[in-house]
Amino acid sequence: MTPGPQSKHLSLSNMKKCLIVAIADNYGIGVKNQLPWHISEDLQYFKNTTRGYPVIMGRSTYFSIGRPLPGRKNIVLNLGGDPIPEVTCVYSFEEAYREAEAAGKDKCFIIGGASVYKMAMPEMDLLYITHVHTEVKDADVFFPVISPDVWERESTSETHTDPETGFKFEFAVYHKKMNITKELWGKTPEGKEIFRYTLKNASGASVQLSSLGAAITSIMVPDKAGKLGEVVLGYANAMDYMADGPCAGKIPGRYANRIAKGKFTLDGVEYTLPVNNGPNHLHGGPKGFQNQVWESRVVDNAVEFMYFAEDGEAGFPGNLKVIAHYTWGEDNSLKLVLTAETDKPTVVNLTNHVYFNLDGDGSVLDHKLELNASQWLPTDSTLIPLGEPEDVAGTPMDFVEAKRIGQDINADFPALKYGKGYDNCYLIDGAMPGQLTTAAELWGAKSGRHLEVLTTQPAVQIYTGNWLNGCPKGRLGQEYHDYDAVAIECQHCPDSPNQPGFPSTVLRPGEVLEEAIIWAFD
């Protein structure tokens, strides 16, 4: 399991976005505070889990505990009564979040009874709830509002009995249900059905996905005024995505990006691939994964796509099973987990080729981009890496500090001449296998929207939509133009099968490739 996002920029909105909520009743009603908290197993779990993080609690909960929780900042939502020594007292959740943010953490925890529970409800993504079962009438009155239409029970621990009181405790985890709908969107000429899925969270923000190419076809998130708007390039019809030049929103494969001259050698065997981009192989060829209809289904709060590539398909060795697992959060973050397994040694490079325009339309040249990358891969004129990475410092390739995408795009620099803009691979600083790392951040010029991209992949390809002219029309019939969107493609390096110095893209039988990408909006 990979760790949570390591955001470089903590803000109040991020604090709410990353909120993990723990709710435990203080048992003050009906049981007269008889519960010995110090031996309650769920509370011990809570103490261990929250160590170092701020804790927001209700007034009655604080007095039930009898003292501040050690090793963290204690914030009491003091809805009445005198100030409490040794803790920070606040009078609204907004104040509580600000105090929690001041502790310099990326999440906070909440513990409390019915009143705190109801007030915190709009911010919750997860509930950690302890039910107490007693013979006292209405002892479970605290949690009647866990609606099965909104919350789904994720897991349940064993039931524990407190030896001193005889009370039974049941620890449960709930997550908010995602509103997911499925519709038949179109059919291929061969009659294959193309399905579209819509995932909508409680705020109304949404994502749409297509089974053609396991594509992201729409993301609707709020701007600085709270108005929902489209932020990704997309077309009106399902079949517009078939063999489109931009590969908009889709998962290319078996090998995303380029392989020089369509050839590579693995374990002494040379393989030949279709050449479809100048002298090179690109994105798995004309019949790559992006132009296939994937199997699809709803799994819990997620949508999952599966594609099975046969041995020899597009010249690659091995039967390959690929799964793309998408989840959309209440915090307006979209997570993609890609997994693959093979029965023969092969090479694999998977990403998603979604294009962003955080203002919804017009050029992205005034968007600001920041990359967590101090090195990039110089290429030849066909965009095949020359070998060793180079420092970005002192070149137009430098996005270590946020700058306008268009600031240097017309500079007299070979890489920018080759691609008519940016189409280059950057090595993510601090990237480690299986660890989520910030790859990029993007700011809209007018909308106030911000996107942070995190990934377990070692590199990110930045493509500034240099050849969007002539692609299929947009959802509303509008023409797309060059530089109307930017792709931030988290992946392995291009031509890795021919470049032994790059991170390996070889997958062998018995191994499972697993990579994650998170697009977090605020």
Question: Could you list the active site residues?
Answer: 353, 489
Do the Cβ atoms of 386 and 376 come closer than 8 Å? no
Taking residue 394's Cβ as centre, other Cβ atoms within 10 Å add up to 7
Cα–Cα distance list, 236 to 157, 233, 241, 338, 438 (Å):
47, 10, 9, 26, 32
- The four Cα atoms 496, 497, 501, 505 give a dihedral, to 10 degrees, of 70
The DSSP bridge partners found for residue 278 are none
Cα–Cα distance list, 168 to 27, 139, 164, 454 (Å):
12, 12, 11, 42
Which 3 state secondary structure label does DSSP give 164?
coil
Q: How far apart are CA 11 and CA 51, in angstroms?
A: 21
Range list of β-strands (E), 117-252: 126-133, 151-161, 168-176, 179-187, 193-200, 206-210, 215-222, 228-230
b/e map 165-204, b = 16+ CB within 10 Å? eebebebbebbbbbbbeeeebbeeeeeeebbbbbbbbeee
Do the Cβ atoms of 367 and 444 come closer than 8 Å? yes
Name, in order, each residue with C-beta under 8 angstroms of 371's C-beta and a sequence gap of 6 or more. Answer: 399, 400, 426, 439, 440, 460, 462
- The dihedral through the CA atoms of 293, 299, 303, 309 has a sign that is negative
For residue 93, what is the enclosing H or E element?
Answer: helix 93-102
Q: How far apart are CA 276 and CA 288, in angstroms?
A: 11
Q: How far apart are CA 399 and CA 453, in angstroms?
A: 14
Name, in order, each residue with C-beta under 8 angstroms of 419's C-beta and a sequence gap of 6 or more. Answer: 383, 463, 466
Question: Which residue, chain included where needed, has tokens 């513990």?
Answer: 111
Do the Cβ atoms of 356 and 232 come closer than 8 Å? yes
Name, in order, each residue with C-beta under 8 angstroms of 495's C-beta and a sequence gap of 6 or more. Answer: 257, 258, 259, 260, 384, 385, 502
Name, in order, each residue with C-beta under 8 angstroms of 6's C-beta and a sequence gap of 6 or more. Answer: 106, 436, 437, 438, 454
The DSSP bridge partners found for residue 351 are none
Q: For the chain, report the end-to-end CA distance as a whole number of angstroms.
A: 25
Question: Which residue, chain included where needed, has tokens 């729409």?
Answer: 218
